[in-house]
Structure 1
């Protein structure tokens, strides 16, 4: 199996993170399809749920959701993943990879669909945290006043 890079995007914040798991940790991904929701522990996000959005194989051919299987196919495309038409109505035969993850896939794109539920904190702990924050903000001002005299 080639070295796998997994790009995990967070739609809420607009950030993404690259994870390069070891071969043993990437093994559970083999045989999965585009669109499946899996546990985030595979990509070091315990408690999260991530959805497989796509990827590319070792030669750069993109995975396409509507091409079944894990092999390369030459299909006629009119747009979407793997083809950007220059003229209206243009169709072209292009090589794309199927929607099943195989050992020839080197890049996977995923997005976070569910984050772990944060435990609700009580009012006392919330007030205590705010009080500590205010004390930290006023502390440097007091030190500068002492040092200037």
Structure 2
């Protein structure tokens, strides 16, 4: 499995935070679907709960809710991600991947459902410090 980035959005402040997951932590999220709520303690956010809102695969194709599985397919769509047609009723074929997280997922987008005791910024300040030390 390639490295996975998790993007967490905070609905209270409107800010988003990004962190790269370690390989052991990535495997705990496999087979979750868009809309699933999970305990974020498994990825080092104790007492938090996140909801999966989307993501992309290793080649940048977006995950689409309602499209089962984890493979890529060209589907005929009229609304949704990547569609901004000016004429009403126009449909296009778009390449999307399924709503299930797999080994090919490169980014997972989440939002906070339940807040923990520690502030969310404190978890991401640690990852910034680790990056500057390794550079």
Q: Could you say whether these structures have the same fold, taking a TM-score greater than 0.5 normalized by the shorter chain as the test? A: yes
**TM-score for both structures, normalised by structure 1:** 0.74
C-alpha separation in 2, matches of 1:77 and 1:50: 28
Q: Quick one: structure 1 residues 17 and 43, their matched pair in 2 at CA, closer, same or farther if it must change by over 3 Å?
A: farther
Choose between structure 1 and 2: higher helix proportion. Answer: 1
| 8 Å CA contact 1:76, 1:93 repeated in 2 | yes
CA distance in structure 2 between the aligned counterparts of 1:43 and 1:7, rounded to whole angstroms: 12
SS in 1 for 2:79: coil
Contact 1:39 / 1:48 at 8 angstroms: preserved in 2? yes
**What CA distance in whole angstroms lies between the structure 1 residues aligned with 2:15 and 2:30?**
26
Task: Output the aligned Cα RMSD.
Answer: 1.5
Count of residues in correspondence between the two structures: 118
Shift of 1:85: 2.1
- For structure 2, the 5+ residue unaligned runs are 119-135
Higher relative contact order (CA 8 A, sep 6+): 2
Calculate the TM-score normalised by the size of structure 2: 0.82
Structure 1: which 5+ residue stretches go unaligned?
A: 119-149
